[in-house]
Amino acid sequence: MIVLGAILLILGLVIKMSILTYIGVVLLVIGAVFWILGSVGRPVGGRKAWY
């Protein structure tokens, strides 16, 4: 999710498309939150690991 967010963010900035930039930022933030919660051992959505 973080990689997809970064790709969309870069594409949005390069081609000046604000919706891609917005979606990229949202995916980056959500991915970072899931990564932090998973790394501290807290279950996310009832699962300890997301594959």
* Residue 44 within a domain: no
* Residue 49 within a domain: no
Q: How many domains does the chain have?
A: 1
| Residue-level pLDDT at 44 | 66
* Residue 46 within a domain: no
| Residue-level pLDDT at 39 | 80
* Residue 19 within a domain: yes
Nearest 5°: the CA angle 47, 4, 34 is 25
10-49 residue pLDDT tens: 999 999 998 999 999 999 999 998 888 778 776 666 666 6
* Residue 45 within a domain: no
In this prediction the pTM is 0.73
Domain that holds residue 31: 2-39
| Residue-level pLDDT at 25 | 94
Q: Is the dihedral of CA 34, 35, 37, 42 positive or negative?
A: positive
